[in-house]
Structure 1
Amino acid sequence: MNNIKSTFSIKDLENLTGIKAHTIRIWEKRYNLLEPERTDTNIRYYSLANLQKLLNIGYLNTNGYKISKIAAIDSKNIPQLVRDVAQNDNTNNHLLSTFKLSMINFDQKLFYDTYARLEKEKSFPEIFYEDFIPLLTQIGMLWQTDTITPAHEHFATTLIRQKILISTEAIQSKNQIRSKKVFVLFLPENEVHELGLMMINYEIIANGHQSIYLGQSVPKNSLIDILDFYDEITFVSYFTVKPEKDNIDNYIKEFSEKILYKKNVRLWVLGRMLSETDISKLPKQITPFDSIKNLVKKL
């Protein structure tokens, strides 16, 4: 499972490009656009070069080029045509494909070059919400379908994490705390998916509030100590895979009893595990959110 993936099934190509397997077979048969190899049992498999070519073909097709016209272009000239078209493309299709390609090839330079191009036109929050969120959504789907390995996921999320850290440090050096609000950001024990929480940290600082970032896998007892330092605290957490379905109600109950007993202490929480509890029955000090953007509106 942890080996670097260099060959792909036709289903992998469908997952990575969004082009249906049936369509890929037609293009392959009618226009000879791809040249798959075959296993000893005559099953097609595709190389990284095939994947890259199909991503480029799909991009050109989305931008109005007919498959018959693409098929007539020399394969070595297709990447240059894609670059030319991309110069005037205001959609995210090409950049998302490029980010995915950088992940598949473990190509750090391609990731940085793509980000640098975005940075000329957008603010960091715009890049995160408009480009990184769709990328992370697709990465999650690709990982779940075994199209990519955990190594691919870690490669991409680590690079995104670096960009959040750099951007957060930049605003910390410029922004001053303008309010008395204190936010304490943490993830439950054994929860390590922190990109969303890191972005919330960025937004809190950008809005002039004090943010205490504790990060991954924080025991509830460690949060109790903070209560002695501030009269009013808003805890913020992200329940992505923890607490688990069978434990989430108990976790919320214990958190309320141990931490939310003080008058001016609250918990804001996001994440897909919230779907495993009845949010209408949450204690009044707990506020659920369905997105980072909606949470930011409350700052």
Structure 2
Amino acid sequence: MNEQGRKPVIDASLEQQDLFPIREVSRLTGVNAVTLRAWERRYGLVQPSRTDSGHRLYSLADIDDIRRILGWLERGVAVSKVASILARSHALAGQAGCAMGAWLHWQQQIRQAVQGFDVAGLGRLFDEVFAASTLDQVFAEVFMPVWHDLAAGQGGYGQASEWLFLDQFLRGRVFARLQLAHVPRSRTVLLAPLPGQCHELELLVTSLTLGSEEIGVTPLATGQPLQELALVCERMRPDALVLFSHQPPTAELTRRLTRLVVGLRCPLLLAGEAVEVAQDSLAGSPIACLGAHGSVMRQRLRQFLAGQLDT
């Protein structure tokens, strides 16, 4: 971090260039050159172009990918699994087309509003983004990338306050929308976080994006004990229990979840950005994987409740 605690800025002598040498990329991302080379050679992550003499040159898109990789690693995803996740992200970005420019523009405006602690400006941006985007895009492409960046960069003066400001604002807006959507549905689902593996905002956003006209989703508190979920489900009688996590379940957690299933009177499903990485380890178990992206999760949840999706 630089003295102001912001992300390192690109040198003025390089800012007009499209490509950056490995030493500059290391300075901008905090990842040393040895690690960058290892990611490329061993795992196929971030393939830079080369000069005639063989020196690596990285694009701005490469630098963004390196920051995404750091985010996945911080969430506990093995580096060997990151390539497939990154490839899916690139595919989705390619489908987005020209919308990407608008999303990046909104992200920049959001950062400026957050830095100024401008509640009114942030509120106007929130309404503007909602009017022009789908529910999934509002969070996955615009607000949550900024939230994640601020959460990962709290080493400098003022950054923790900026993240808390945006986090509080988004929790309030998402909670308000959940309350508006709180009407009787034909099917009900409980959404609970795996202990210590997500923030409240991530759970609230997932509750909002997972719901539909026929399925109502109720989030449980982030401190919900795993061992008491059978009791909660017995009393609330949901059609399914969805556990949310950004980290692939360990062998021990998988055993605990398998024991939990025995005591439940409803199906158990997993959702979250790293859940798809764990699908192979859960194959054949009574636990189904919903995935991470809003539309995919909603489709799989509907299919599962209709008996059309196997565990």
The verdict on a shared fold, with TM-score over 0.5 as the criterion, is: yes
1:237 counterpart (243, 248, 254): 243
Q: CA 1:284 to 1:146, structure 2 compared with 1: closer, same or farther past 3 Å?
A: farther
Equivalents in 2 of 1:103, 1:269: separation in Å? Answer: 29
Aligned AA (1:21): D
Give 3-state SS (helix, strand or coil) of 2:153's partner.
Answer: helix
The percentage of counterpart residues that share the same residue type is 10
* Structure-2 residue corresponding to 1:35: none
The 1-side partners of 2:295 and 2:146 are apart by 17
Q: Could you report, residue by residue, the CA deviation over 1:168-203 in whole angstroms, capped at 9, with x for unpaired residues?
A: 22222xx541x2x33111112234513232123223
2:163 partner letter: E
Q: Which residue of 2 aligns with 1:154?
A: 164
Residues 1-299 of structure 1: pairs in structure 2 closer than 5 A? 8=4, 12-14=7-9, 20-23=10-13, 91-122=102-133, 124-143=135-154, 149-172=159-182, 175-177=183-185, 179=186, 181-229=187-235, 233-240=239-246, 248-260=250-262, 262=264, 264-272=266-274, 278-282=278-282, 283-287=285-289, 289-298=291-300, 299=302
* TM norm structure 2: 0.57
Q: Which amino acid aligns with 1:222?
A: E
Q: 1:126 to 1:291 in 2, by over 3 A?
A: closer
CA distance in 2, matches of 1:232, 1:127: 28
Distance 1:207 1:280, change over 3 A: same
CA offsets per residue over residues 194-220 of structure 1, 9 Å max, x none?
Answer: 323212322344332233321202112
Cα gap change, 1:261 to 1:129, in 2 (>3 Å): same
Change (3 A) 1:155 1:236: same
Q: Does the 8 Å CA contact 2:190/2:238 hold for their aligned counterparts? A: no
Give the number of the structure whose alpha-carbon radius of gyration is greater.
1
8 Å CA contact 2:150, 2:163 repeated in 1: yes
In structure 1, the gaps of 5 or more residues are: 15-19, 28-88
SS at match of 2:214: coil
Relative to structure 1, the CA distance from residue 90 to residue 148 in structure 2 (aligned partners, 3 Å threshold; closer, same or farther) is: same
Give the TM-score normalised by the residue count of structure 1.
0.59
State how far apart, in whole Å, the 2-side matches of 1:22 and 1:226 are.
58
Q: For the residues of structure 1 that align with 2:236 and 2:179, how far apart are their CA atoms? A: 24
Alpha-carbon offset, residue 123 of structure 1? 5.2
- Name the structure 2 match of 1:44: none
Conserved 8 A contact 2:261-2:286: no
Do the aligned partners of 1:260 and 1:266 also contact (CA within 8 Å) in 2? Answer: no
**Structure 2, unaligned stretches of length 5 or more?**
18-99, 303-311
Q: How far apart in 2 are the matches of 1:156 and 1:168? A: 18
Question: CA RMSD for the aligned pairs?
Answer: 3.6
Q: Residue 118 of structure 2 aligns to which amino acid in structure 1?
A: D
* Matched AA of 1:259: V
Is the contact made by 1:191 and 1:217 (CA closer than 8 Å) also made in structure 2? no
Q: Is the 8 A contact 2:270 2:291 kept in 1?
A: yes
**Alignment partners' CA distance in 1, 2:298 and 2:125:** 27
